[in-house]
Structure 1
């Protein structure tokens, strides 16, 4: 939670600075005597003349202070001083002026001589009840006297804190210096300390007479400012569904990308962890809203749309991330916001002397569940023995056993006689039966073996360094940072490095003009060539990785089909460098009558070089292409966007208006060229620099350009700070759509009711705060190719009777009626503060419907075209989300805060192509809208539904006769037969068996502080109720006898598994193919971090403001029934990361 600030006049004496910098609300002590004292004070005799028009409260306060000795003291996060008011008074006292000024808004005041304290009305009521209940102890017998002082986390005294003996009405309040004294019963056990805006504490008495108490900020930040489209707003004033993430929680984690902050901490946000060194992953908010178009949310960076690579944003620069999930919140972005919006706010400079922050992290990553990759030599021999035994050949079972480990009752002579001409050497005879290649035999006899898991998955080193400088004056602020990250992945050859820099400067030219520039530059090195895990999975442990001369051994065990998994890692030379520059140049004008104007220009440039050279020592450079292969791709993108924003903010009595108008224009152009050559002559010694020396050149290019524009209007209206209304409309245009529908309109509306501000609401109930939210809106999706509405040409060869000629033909039909994909959404939510705001609960229920889905539809060959981009069907999406923020424990030496999130999403294809008729499915003839079997889209079913055979077990010994009816044997899959025909056919016997996406997602972030200097966090995640195909248990290819990448209990004559089939199982008898699916539900301890603040140790070091050292670990523990690599990544290992770091500020 952000540190709350207290605002006060520059003329306040030093003593008042100490007192009021940390005050959150009105001091109970002063409140108790305020009405009796003010009659004879400065406030009663001073008269004020004031006339202002459409000024903010801050400006009005300054005007009063300038012409009087009054000083306003308030919490800037509690009192909304951005509200604009008009007032005209003459010769009135301060009470009259404030009554007029605060009419219709939730601001109350209390005057103590020349100090005016501002707070919320409901807080005054609560403090009044506390003050009334405190008992005057006097000099009653049997009491002991205690004293103490209460301070805030910054060490400044807190006045007005209530101190009560638990279970009694005996108590007092701290004075102006934060001190208190109290006579308590001798048997008193516990003291309770409470202060509005702070976390209540209970301190055991334990025979002590003096107490020193430090109070922490309240866990619930209902007055936090969150980012919304084209502006900011207090959290309490939101009408839509918005979740904010404080990036401070992740400063100790080894993050590579922004998305790593959001998974599990934002209900409804889904991003699968990446296994790569770059950390890249997909993003999705509230499930899929489209079939073929993008489901990736829009990214808005510092208030402007950002179309660059999210990898270019340094997580160290981020202050907050706000996720807009409902249509009303996102509708101001129109055609780009159907999948939600992620608003990222980066650091800015503050007024003050320069501050230098340095952060350094060093870590190591290792593969989790590494043993799943390849068996050791002993397990490999057992595996091969069982494979051959299940072939059901003519050989006796003992034929495959080692001569040193024969079954009971089988003699060595009997074993040898099973071969017609056995090798004199028993070991060589056995290895021959096991189909060993000569290289394998020799390595076995020499005792040489390779553990391929270590060869292809070494530990990776991770380095992360960040430096930032910030500061400012009255008229200028600056923030500059530079960060370098260098990661090695857990697969050999996987690497990622990036240099990222940011500059955020703002200048106040005069009272009405402000200009600024935000610059982001990133240089990424993605020149990675990884080892081939698939090839590692079919290697024998009796192999030779390198030849005697140090070169890579193409065929490690002699079989010229199975290549070395490190072949490309050592033989391919790759350069992939990415540069990106994103800028925001803006000016802001403050105009009369509450108007303001902002102009911003956002250029975005990206350049990519991707050069590859495959030497003759690689498969590509020698077999696919002779004597080397070179490919060079150059890509450039240039985009500009212009935003013109006009805002108007005005308050009339109980009515507040906030109007935003936008005119936007944009252009995006890209250029791509590719050159390739092969058979490099005479020798390919120059690598990808020698492309001109090949004899088979090829050149391609691909350029495109799109334009867009938009008009938007949004009005926020607040009545009496209880009833909040939001309405918006946006009109978008985009050049990629058909000539008839280049534009679309996207409206939205929302209403929120601050129930707890009604007079009938009793905040003494366990519900202290409640707000109801309802929103509706329509957003669009324009994620199609630049020329999707136009016809496409394809190159073809034809024979003219003597020569082969090149020609073109139209492959895609134009569609002038191509229009926008639109998503309509309804959201109902409620926000509540419970048990004295100890818990902050948000619940949301939503329903979305996407129509005119953008898809590529195949056309009959008779038309002469292959496909057409068109609009079809309807997709429905519903869900429920919960976020609970709680303060679990709060004492002077230990605090524990939790953030729990839960999300559930359900979707279905409501309508597809509209083709109706009879069709066969699940063994029955059905009538209705026909499914798309090829893409597995079924009307009425979820988009991620799994349609396959329902495997009910494994055929066992004794079931040979029944299995043979399906041409199967013991050890093969047994599936449900839906049509009673003794044959497995796709349309007759396949059914719906589950879902690929989680049915329930949960996250739990726990934050701890101990003795003020030690902080820790533990992040837990769970995804439940989904399935994933487990292809490792299928043997449907030519090298199944050497598949060695899985470690699961397959069926054997001794291990009669009813879950996993035999090796070399029969798949051909299942029409349309069969794939086993396994549960991928998991519970994961994803992140753990511990930090120690050296503030006491370094307090005497000049210029050093703070210093933290920390340890962190990621993916420590995963509990799951998934038998493969990892339940989240599926077919790839997940890295476990350990890191240590230091962060200090000068």
Structure 2
């Protein structure tokens, strides 16, 4: 609304008395408005207008209704206003005001949520005072010009507004004048003139105020009226430190996001992400479900996470939550060219170090001695291995031989952004090169990103968007692969023993290092020797959108959306044969120790995925009687998916030089292929209602049809209901004068999951099996089993309650929320005893169910101390799941039920034996009052001392107790810090997790050992009850117990960046708008109880040495804007 200020007095020119009265009244209004504590973030800042020769007061009414800002003015000021013709769509408030006030006989000043209109300045300086003219440029923290900034002279009515290029001009100023620069969403700044004729100002944004428009399902909403549980982050926050995978920059930044990065492998180092512990969420990029792993963070405008009923609008895909990503768009103004370049060095955060030769010999002797066998190494030989000077007794560090200390990574990207009111454009090119830790021809990862986004306003009612993108990825790695567990390079590394030399006297022969068939890690990690696995992925997307404002019905628009997404992937796996030898220095004889294959082998795979998404929608928005704001959406969506796959291979290549299928022996040819097609149709409706922008309601309904289910079970219906109350709008809250925002939110939402095999409702046959016919075999078909036409959607219901608050002029802000989620109809096979003659397995049914509950809390502050501005925010969340029903047998044994029964129990329980440390003397063993499985005769000091829980005199499964929870954290926390002082800036991201467990094994069944094992292992000299159990000890040492299942938590300095932006006066002559140089790092410091074992807290449980370690990075870079 706008407010008129009546003036008392006579017609005609204002007398000096009346002018003084008006000045006092306006001053009082300005002072009172400064006391209003309604946060700027709670007001909309995007305005849509379509008026022709509209009276100025009507125009102000429309703007006030949409933005929530009040206009204060003397009524007589508008008498000389001229009508306005204007058409803008979702334009920021400050730009709209700049257009509206052009060529008007008055100007304005923004104070809090008020726009104060005053007459244009009159020359009131004393006759003898020397007037000063001041000009300057107002920019944001990135150096971008800010149009529409209010520049007022403190204590007077004089002022102006910055032009579209951010420049301003004020004349007739006194030397002691003070200029006040204010802009919606930015902290105001006061600058004394003090004789200056040029004053350039940089404004810093207020926390939250620039996030006032939040991306939600199929649209956007004002943050002030948003009542869903939506966490959002701007793309700028994700680019503070260079990262190869954008996902890794999210950990700790947003509440409710459970993250675990279990690998640092180039091209595959993204963390696993789930929302509130629900499971894998879906990623929607520019309106389409997409792969987020390969997006450059510099392409991203914003990211939103839908966690409650707000996600229900995505129905079948929203069961585990939705993450919405919006890429950057063009902006009106001159072209802005931005270049970013960085050079990064990567190293392992923590990686277990293998023992040296002397330590290996000692452990091996102990291994044999504990079995009563002769020790294979004499003391003299052990000392020679320690010395490493005798070539017959080498001391090879295979980790150092095969891996780099630091692996390089480079990133470059270039973007251009700009446009006019008719056409806006954004273009992007990005390049990433990441080398692995393998030192000699170990492959590498390359990625190219292209993006072109065009927004065109064809006429007053018609606009179109064209979004094009392409991603090309190549990943080359050694033939054995770098995954987790056995048969990978990590197993080969730990199988390479230090007692074997790196090289032999004959350089044409490769050295054997007990690599279990591969020779050594130095051989198998070299693509030129062992071969390679090279994949290439090409993804291309195109989206075309038409928006049409229907003139006949105010507020009604139609939208058509079509997306084409195609991914083409090839993989070439070529293994080369080689042999390896041992060498006897005393006889100078070589002995063939083994070979990796006899001839080369090639496997070639190719897949294509094509997705087409189409949407037709109607949008309606209208305000009735100024107080009733209604928006509505009706949408139809259809998705078609097509997938094809083919694999071919040959062996026995005559030469490994030719790496194509035709060079292999024809009789060894293998080939196979598969294809699938799937579709989904959906209807969506949503209604939003706001009364006086105070009482809020939202409801949606989505109907999804999935071809995976029988026609009678195909449709799923997923409603949501959300309520909100903006309490800060109530008078009893306003009177407190400390509350800027206080919003209560309640929501319920339903969604579904159709993650099951296709066509289980049909009976039929599938290819497979071999049948003996005559003297040979014939390929045949087999039954698919029993059909189940009743299989249908898993159903998700989620309840959420939250409060958003900000206090003390947004110096303190936060959110607190709790949630409860049920998941029913989880497919499972019924526990049922069937006769042997039945001949088939029972089909899956919707039997199991579980629930999750948890809470989230965010607290932050922002402000400035002098020229130091700061923004600090911290979050913490907890969630846990429990089985309501789990299909399982009826337990008759109480202990079996206690240990194995899942129904009514937490999902993440782990049962094992409780221990009382290790035996430290034979007397402890002799005094045992219970018997181990198999008897106690094999027990020795250094073996695990278990607890007979039930005191029945024997150790068995009945003694097992819960030894911990799961390997995924229940508690997650994070904090962000952003400091800026003059040209310097610092950003810091902390991430932590608590209350989860990890299985820690320090040795590998008689292969090589880690230094951590050597330092902690039990010996007669290290006779500690808390050492690692003795090597080659009793079989009971391998029982799952609290000896190996360790409680874990950590706090990690996830990212740190320090930057400096050069002064503009040094750059302007070169045509440079901004130049920032920085140093940054990720995973720089971790506080972690597993560090004493050289294990990263996010390492895969039980595989702490059989995986690619997480990477610590240190970067230098620059950001250049022209």
Instruction: Calculate the TM-score normalised by the size of structure 2.
Output: 0.79
Offset of residue 278 of structure 1: 1.7
Residue 223 (structure 2) pairs with residue 276 (structure 1): no
Residue 239 (structure 2) pairs with residue 251 (structure 1): yes
Residue 405 (structure 2) pairs with residue 454 (structure 1): no
Structure 1 counterpart of 2:1020, from 1053, 1060, 1063: 1053
CA contact (8 A) 2:430 2:448 kept: yes
Offset of residue 1045 of structure 1: 8.0
CA contact (8 A) 1:547 1:553 kept: yes
Residue 1094 (structure 2) pairs with residue 1135 (structure 1): no
Distance across 2 between alignment mates of 1:672 and 1:393: 56
Residues 615/727 of structure 1: CA separation in 2 closer, same or farther (3 Å cut): same
The correspondence of residues 413-452 of structure 1 with structure 2, limited to 5 A, is 427-428=380-381, 444-446=390-392, 448-452=394-398
Structure 1 counterpart of 2:356, from 376, 380, 383: 376
Distance across 2 between alignment mates of 1:1056 and 1:37: 81
The correspondence of residues 448-597 of structure 1 with structure 2, limited to 5 A, is 448-458=394-404, 459-492=406-439, 493=442, 495-529=444-478, 532-548=489-505, 550=507, 553=510, 555-556=512-513, 563-564=520-521, 566-569=523-526, 570-592=529-551, 593=553, 594-597=555-558
Distance across 2 between alignment mates of 1:504 and 1:29: 54
CA contact (8 A) 2:615 2:635 kept: yes
Offset of residue 625 of structure 1: 6.2
Structure 1 counterpart of 2:988, from 1010, 1018, 1041: 1018
Residues 31/567 of structure 1: CA separation in 2 closer, same or farther (3 Å cut): farther
Offset of residue 776 of structure 1: 0.3
Match in the other structure for 2:745: 773
Structure 2 counterpart of 1:873, from 848, 862, 867: 848
Match in the other structure for 1:53: none
Offset of residue 743 of structure 1: 1.0
C-alpha offsets along residues 1064-1089 of structure 1, whole Å, 9 cap, x if unaligned?
24463379755711122111111111
Distance across 2 between alignment mates of 1:178 and 1:757: 40
Match in the other structure for 2:130: none
Match in the other structure for 1:965: 931
Residues 939/1048 of structure 1: CA separation in 2 closer, same or farther (3 Å cut): farther
Residue 761 of structure 1 aligns to a residue whose secondary structure is: helix
Match in the other structure for 2:866: 891
Paired residues, what number? 988
Match in the other structure for 1:634: 606
Offset of residue 783 of structure 1: 2.3
Distance across 2 between alignment mates of 1:441 and 1:388: 23
Match in the other structure for 1:422: none
Structure 2 counterpart of 1:318, from 300, 303, 325: 300
Residues 796/691 of structure 1: CA separation in 2 closer, same or farther (3 Å cut): farther
Residues 379/624 of structure 1: CA separation in 2 closer, same or farther (3 Å cut): closer
Residue 649 (structure 2) pairs with residue 676 (structure 1): yes
Residues 618/795 of structure 1: CA separation in 2 closer, same or farther (3 Å cut): farther
Offset of residue 276 of structure 1: 1.4
CA contact (8 A) 1:487 1:496 kept: yes
CA contact (8 A) 2:277 2:879 kept: no
Distance across 2 between alignment mates of 1:182 and 1:835: 34
CA contact (8 A) 1:608 1:636 kept: yes
Offset of residue 784 of structure 1: 2.7
Distance across 2 between alignment mates of 1:472 and 1:850: 48
CA contact (8 A) 1:794 1:811 kept: no
C-alpha offsets along residues 1011-1061 of structure 1, whole Å, 9 cap, x if unaligned?
2x111111111111111011225x6x3x25767785651211121233343
CA contact (8 A) 2:456 2:463 kept: yes
C-alpha offsets along residues 413-453 of structure 1, whole Å, 9 cap, x if unaligned?
xxxxxxxxxxxxxx35988xxxx9xxx99985556432222
Residues 649/117 of structure 1: CA separation in 2 closer, same or farther (3 Å cut): farther
Structure 2 counterpart of 1:234, from 205, 222, 226: 222
Residue 1032 of structure 1 aligns to a residue whose secondary structure is: coil
Match in the other structure for 1:718: 690
Distance across 2 between alignment mates of 1:449 and 1:1071: 31
Residue 760 of structure 1 aligns to a residue whose secondary structure is: helix
Distance across 2 between alignment mates of 1:742 and 1:606: 28
CA contact (8 A) 1:834 1:841 kept: no
Please, which moves more after superposition, 954-963 or 666-675? 954-963
Distance across 2 between alignment mates of 1:880 and 1:640: 38
Distance across 1 between alignment mates of 2:572 and 2:957: 44
Residues 685/835 of structure 1: CA separation in 2 closer, same or farther (3 Å cut): same
Please, which moves more after superposition, 759-768 or 192-201? 192-201
Residues 212/1101 of structure 1: CA separation in 2 closer, same or farther (3 Å cut): closer
Alignment gaps of 5+ in structure 1: 1-27, 39-55, 84-91, 99-106, 129-147, 164-170, 185-190, 205-209, 290-294, 404-426
Offset of residue 952 of structure 1: 3.4
CA contact (8 A) 1:365 1:462 kept: yes
Match in the other structure for 1:1101: 1069
Residues 1040/681 of structure 1: CA separation in 2 closer, same or farther (3 Å cut): closer
Residue 974 of structure 2 aligns to a residue whose secondary structure is: strand
The correspondence of residues 648-1047 of structure 1 with structure 2, limited to 5 A, is 648-653=620-625, 654-678=627-651, 680-690=652-662, 692-762=664-734, 764-790=736-762, 793=766, 795-800=768-773, 802-810=775-783, 812-855=785-828, 862=836, 863-865=838-840, 868-887=843-862, 889-892=864-867, 894-913=868-887, 915-921=889-895, 938-957=902-921, 958-962=923-927, 965-966=931-932, 967=936, 968-986=939-957, 988-1011=959-982, 1013-1032=983-1002, 1037=1005, 1039-1040=1006-1007, 1046=1013
C-alpha offsets along residues 883-902 of structure 1, whole Å, 9 cap, x if unaligned?
2231164322x122112111
Distance across 2 between alignment mates of 1:429 and 1:94: 101
Distance across 2 between alignment mates of 1:662 and 1:656: 20
Residue 318 (structure 2) pairs with residue 337 (structure 1): yes
Residue 400 of structure 2 aligns to a residue whose secondary structure is: helix
Match in the other structure for 1:1068: 1035
Distance across 1 between alignment mates of 2:502 and 2:156: 79
Alignment gaps of 5+ in structure 2: 1-19, 31-45, 70-77, 85-92, 118-133, 161-169, 193-197, 483-488, 581-593
Match in the other structure for 2:1084: 1116
CA contact (8 A) 1:150 1:214 kept: no
Structure 2 counterpart of 1:264, from 229, 243, 252: 252
Match in the other structure for 1:605: 566
CA contact (8 A) 1:1046 1:1124 kept: no
Distance across 1 between alignment mates of 2:492 and 2:28: 87
Residue 647 of structure 1 aligns to a residue whose secondary structure is: strand
CA contact (8 A) 2:964 2:997 kept: no
Residue 960 of structure 1 aligns to a residue whose secondary structure is: helix
CA contact (8 A) 2:754 2:794 kept: yes
C-alpha offsets along residues 170-205 of structure 1, whole Å, 9 cap, x if unaligned?
x99997669999999xxxxxx99999955478999x
Residues 1106/95 of structure 1: CA separation in 2 closer, same or farther (3 Å cut): closer
Residue 1107 of structure 1 aligns to a residue whose secondary structure is: strand
Offset of residue 779 of structure 1: 0.8
Offset of residue 960 of structure 1: 2.7
Match in the other structure for 2:121: none
Please, which moves more after superposition, 684-693 or 594-603? 684-693
Offset of residue 815 of structure 1: 1.9
Offset of residue 697 of structure 1: 2.1
Residue 904 of structure 2 aligns to a residue whose secondary structure is: coil
Residues 482/1115 of structure 1: CA separation in 2 closer, same or farther (3 Å cut): same
C-alpha offsets along residues 597-643 of structure 1, whole Å, 9 cap, x if unaligned?
11111111111111111112289xx9796523221111111111111
Distance across 1 between alignment mates of 2:433 and 2:683: 43
Residues 196/665 of structure 1: CA separation in 2 closer, same or farther (3 Å cut): closer
CA contact (8 A) 1:945 1:996 kept: no
Match in the other structure for 1:415: none
